[in-house]
A = this chain, B = another copy of it.
Amino acid sequence: MDGIPGKVVIARGRATARLQSTELLRELILGGTLAPGQRLNEVELAAQFSMSRGPIRESLQTLAAEGLVTIRSHKGTFVKTFTKDELANLYEVRLVLEAYACRQAALRRTDAEAEVLGGLLDLTRQRLATEGVFLYENDFHLQILAMTHNDVLANQGRYLLVQMALARSRSASSAERSKAALEEHQAVLEAICDKNDAHAADLMERHLGKSYENARRTLEPTLDAADPSGTSG
């Protein structure tokens, strides 16, 4: 647990301790501060978050159900680790779900939503040009999911995005891949603006296929090495 530098100060608004710790832990895990496989010590977390173990334990239950951590009875809680097979499974489902979402987004979008998507892409292009960083990719996909106006679909898609962010947290994207991904996003945007649903779905499918290829190539070969968090608890 030496991944967390010091005590975390919480702005005690009106949210409960449980909700705060849930959010905080989610950020620490998805931000990479808490690495996959790392053990989460309840006492230490409680001290760092300035609360007792009760709310911490309740948060860990939530995160376990969300698939971000694995709880092993009497052993401890660990940040979830992924094997290459699991990554492949995630991509397979994501391909199906997001291609469909893209199709429906093209059909159901409002003009305002399409503009938001375009603005997101402009921002990405700008920061890629000036700073060389490729950002807001997840936001792009989330916005498309929102444009389906189907909360169930959006939630399932978001789950897959989050899982993948964690599974790929040790992989990298080259500058070339970033540029290509941006262009693929641009093409998807245009198809959605044209309300060309079949084309939009096809473009998204190709985009995710290439993304998977890149992920598989750049992943650390140790991805499915010994898993300290085990399988069940």
Q: Which residues of A contact B (CB under 8 A)?
A: 15-16, 18-19, 54, 57-59, 61-62, 64-66, 73, 86, 89-90, 92-93, 96-97, 100, 150-153, 156, 159-160, 163
Contacts and interface: CB of A to CB of B under 8 A. Distances in A.
Contacts of A15: 73
Given A73-B19, A156-B93, A151 B61 contact: no
Contacts of A96: 96-97, 100
Nearest to A65: B65
Contacts of A89: 150-153
Classify the interface of chain A: helix, strand, loop or mixed: helix
Given A65-B66, A156-B156, A150 B93 contact: yes
A65 to B, nearest CB: 3
Contacts of A92: 150, 152-153
B65 A16 contact: no
B156 A73 contact: no
Nearest to A87: B152
A62 to B, nearest CB: 5
Contacts of A57: 58
Give the top 10 A-B pairs by smallest Cβ distance, nearest first: A65-B65, A61-B61, A89-B152, A89-B150, A58-B61, A96-B100, A61-B62, A62-B65, A93-B152, A93-B153
Contacts of A100: 96
